[in-house]
Amino acid sequence: MHRFVHKQLHQYTACIMAALMLLVLLYASSFIPAHIHHDCSGEDCPVCACIQHCENTLRAFGSNTQGGLILLIPVLLILLCISLPAVFFTEDTPVSDKVRLNN
């Protein structure tokens, strides 16, 4: 029974991490176009620094263009939609709890 709980914990953690990764990608990809034409204050501009950080984040995920991100987001959404019901709506059965049924 301990292994089953441990496995469910890993599944919950994986789903939460996938959702957080998707949010980070969405935020970074939407922040850049929204603030690209800002009123720059020159050197040490905080908005330019944030844009640079968002670009570095997108590069770290292997997508430095908007085209690659457009392909990545639907795939992540589909995987998230498939995995969430499997994690949250599975029922405990005697087989999954490894209960021995004797007559």
- Summarised one tens digit per residue, pLDDT across range 34-50 is 888 888 888 888 888 88
Residue 51 reports pLDDT greater than 80 = yes
The tokens of 26 are what? 């969405």
Rg (CA), the chain: 21
Residue 17 reports pLDDT greater than 60 = yes
Q: Which phi and psi (to 5°) does residue 97 adopt?
A: -85, 0
- Between residues 96 and 55, the one the model is more confident about: 55
| pLDDT confidence of residue 69 | 61
Q: Percent of the chain beyond pLDDT 70?
A: 82
